[in-house]
Amino acid sequence: MTTTHAPAYARRTWQTVEPYHGAVYFSAEAHAAYAALGVESGPGYFASRAAALGPVAPEVVIATFYNFNPKAVQAALPAAWRTAPPEAFLAARLAGIDATLRRILGAEVLASEETRRAAELSRRAAEAALPYLHGRPLFAAHAALPWPDEPHLVLWHAQTLLREFRGDGHVTALLDAGLNNVEALVTHAAAGPVGAETLRTTRSWSPDEWAEAVEALRTRGWLAGGSDLAFTAQGQEWRSAVEEATDRLAAAPYTALGPDGCAELRDLVRPWSQSLAAELMPWAATRLKG
């Protein structure tokens, strides 16, 4: 199996800066903002992340989010759109992450020259991805949104674009590998560091549906037998190929910054990612070393 490797600094940069975006999914302030619209946090996740697409049918979200149980999406949408329009969810999401960043990082950090410089670098990377809209619906939808004014929110929006750019490419890699929604999630669990039970329940799969996917992957030769999720040598090779393809498809904005620009961005954002991960995403801490 032959792949063309993306620059290693591209993956390191994504791993280091991703918690700055990912904090929105665990933000108490964002969940409270969705509740103020009349929507609980679970449906609020689907509505707020999909809102850039407009008031789309659940089938669009099933396709683009990929690894969630379709029943969970159908329970959330289109009901959320009847409660509030997409524009309200976009505003609630931005207000929520703004409040979370202010609470955890503090006003002095957000007003700093370091934040302004990180925002500048991240925006440059995100805008370098704009020629590659094709086949990337979530990235394209978020790229059409207006940029915020404040540097800490420019940084967050840029990282949102880069996250969806990578995610759209990851879906392509999963499809090419022949993994369906729940099978893809099982391989994610086998790769770590997030536990299988957390992934299963947060994506709303039943124990029977999960077990069926595990058995299918064992039959295919990806997983070994036994009670633990463990790749076979073949399974590890194929999962590594999925990750390498994802890295390759996500590399363009980081190569536009170059190794020095990416190193500077990592150095700037790493302490903020560490603070956000420590409070909201402790499993992400292992990615923040370089």
Nearest 5°: CA angle at 283, between 281 and 289?
100
Confidence band, pLDDT 50/70/90 cuts, at residue 282: confident
Mean pLDDT (whole number) for 272-289: 84
Summarize pLDDT for 133-189 with one digit per residue, the tens. Answer: 999 999 999 999 999 999 999 999 999 999 999 999 999 999 999 999 999 999 999
Helix 41-50 vs helix 28-36: crossing angle, to nearest 10 = 90
Q: Look-up: residue for tokens 């008031």?
A: 55
Q: Write the DSSP string, 253-271.
A: HHHHHHHHHHHHHHHHHHH
**Which pLDDT belongs to residue 3?**
44
Q: Which amino acid would we find at residue 252?
A: A
Mean pLDDT, the chain, integer: 95
Q: How far is 281 from 130, CA to CA, in rounded Å? A: 29
Q: What DSSP character marks residue 67? A: S
Q: How far is 182 from 186, CA to CA, in rounded Å? A: 6
Residues 6+ apart with CB under 8 A from 76: 42, 43, 45, 46, 47, 58
**Which pLDDT belongs to residue 29?**
98
Q: How far is 41 from 99, CA to CA, in rounded Å? A: 16
Of 73, 93, 81, 75, nearest to 203 (Cα)? 73
Summarize pLDDT for 20-72 with one digit per residue, the tens. Answer: 999 999 999 999 999 999 999 999 999 999 999 999 999 999 999 999 999 99
Whole-model pTM: value is: 0.95
The secondary structure of the chain in percent helix, strand, coil, rounded to multiples of 5, reads: 75, 0, 20
Asked if omega into 193 is within 30° of 0 (cis), the reply is yes
Of 34, 29, 32, nearest to 48 (Cα)? 34
